[in-house]
Amino acid sequence: MKLASSEANLTDAIAEALSKQQISLETTVQKAIRVAMEDVKSSLIELRQEVQSQTNTVRDLISKADKIQGETRQMKKDLNMCTTEQQSLTLKIAELEDGSRRNNVRLVGLPQSREGDDPIGFLQKMLPTWIPALKKKGPIEIDRAHRVYGSGKSRTLIFRVLRYQDRQAILQGAREVMKTEPIRDQDHLLRFFADYSGFTSRRRQAFGSIQKELHALGIPNFLIYPAILHVSSGGNQHSFDSVTKAEEFLVEARNGHASGARRKLAFYGPSPSAESMEE
């Protein structure tokens, strides 16, 4: 009986000790978990604050970027407007300058000092000789005449007539003479041109190489003021105010000319050789 009672007491004691140990362990674990969770919670709070700060920074940057983009778009609009206005003003200034040169004629190729001390009298005397169509007009009234600066030995001579009709008569008469023979003065080739502003002259000169190639292909063309290339081809009339468009037309004209030459060769056959002609 006593042995059984002792065993029971021992079992109870062990159970009680284990229970106390379990409670102590649970308490220790719970405390450790609470401490760890507090650390994690604190870290999460700090991380959340950092993320919030970064988010606010990103939002500020996005807002500034949007503002900069808006300002940039407005600046581009302003720049485009200024560019358009500048181009418009440039054209107007060129038109005004061209208008002031309306009665001017540029004479290229006249030897230096050929006109002597009286360029006006010299021109009035020689113009009908160079351009016979002017003989029936009588002496052309010339307001002034002078040489312009140039690097060549014979600087261009510019003269201003009193009437626009006389200027046109000189240019048209020169073109008519040039159709049959060049205009010469003492074996020097002379050329007559209208006088334009530098801006208009550059625009017209941009078509120069295209005009030469078109003439070589037998395609009539001429420039209309201020810088519009007029072309007659295949019974059709074409006008180009852009060098790019004129170049595209020139490429088509070249291709058409080459195709026509090939068709002609195929139709007529190759030219007989000298040997076959002798046979």
Judge if the upstream peptide bond of residue 111 is cis by omega within 30 degrees of 0: no
Judge if 171 and 224 occupy the same domain. no
Of 101, 122, 137, the last residue of a domain is 101
pLDDT at 202: 96
Judge if 97 and 145 occupy the same domain. no
**Alpha-carbon separation of residue 182 from 7, 113, 131, 195 (angstroms):** 145, 21, 11, 20
The CATH code of the domain that includes 113 is 3.30.70.1820
Judge if 109 and 187 occupy the same domain. yes
Range of the domain at 225: 197-273
Structure tokens at 194: 């209208």
Of 40, 70, 101, the last residue of a domain is 101
pLDDT digits (tens, 9 = 90+) for 242-275: 999 999 999 999 998 766 555 544 444 444 443 3
| pLDDT by 10-residue block (mean), the chain, 279 residues | 67 78 82 80 87 92 94 95 95 96 96 94 97 92 90 83 97 95 95 96 96 94 95 93 96 81 49 36
Judge if 228 and 162 occupy the same domain. no
Count structural domains, the chain.
3
Judge if 134 and 58 occupy the same domain. no
Residue 7 lies in a domain: no
pLDDT at 150: 67
Residue 48 lies in a domain: no
pLDDT at 34: 81
Residue 35 lies in a domain: no
Residue 180 lies in a domain: yes
β-sheet bridge partners, residue 32: none
Judge if 163 and 246 occupy the same domain. no
Cα–Cα distance for residue pair 107/112, rounded to 1 Å? 12
Judge if 148 and 89 occupy the same domain. no
**CA nearest to 122, candidates 89, 147, 153, 101:** 147
pLDDT at 77: 94
pLDDT at 41: 83
Burial of 119 (0-12, 13-18, 19+ CB in 10 A): buried
The CATH code of the domain that includes 247 is 3.30.250.20
pLDDT at 9: 74
pLDDT at 26: 80
Judge if 201 and 175 occupy the same domain. no
Structure tokens at 20: 């106390």
Judge if 111 and 171 occupy the same domain. yes
Residue 41 lies in a domain: no
Decide: pTM greater than 0.75.
Answer: no
pLDDT at 1: 58
Judge if 126 and 168 occupy the same domain. yes
Q: Nearest 5°: CA angle at 197, between 232 and 146?
A: 115
Judge if 191 and 201 occupy the same domain. no
Residue 143 lies in a domain: yes
Residue 60 lies in a domain: yes
pLDDT at 267: 47
Are 227 and 203 in contact by the 8 Å Cβ rule? The answer is yes
pLDDT digits (tens, 9 = 90+) for 163-208: 999 999 999 999 999 989 999 999 999 999 999 999 999 999 999 9
Judge if 253 and 267 occupy the same domain. yes
Of 166, 195, 224, the last residue of a domain is 195
pLDDT at 62: 94
Cα–Cα distance for residue pair 199/225, rounded to 1 Å? 12
Residue 83 lies in a domain: yes
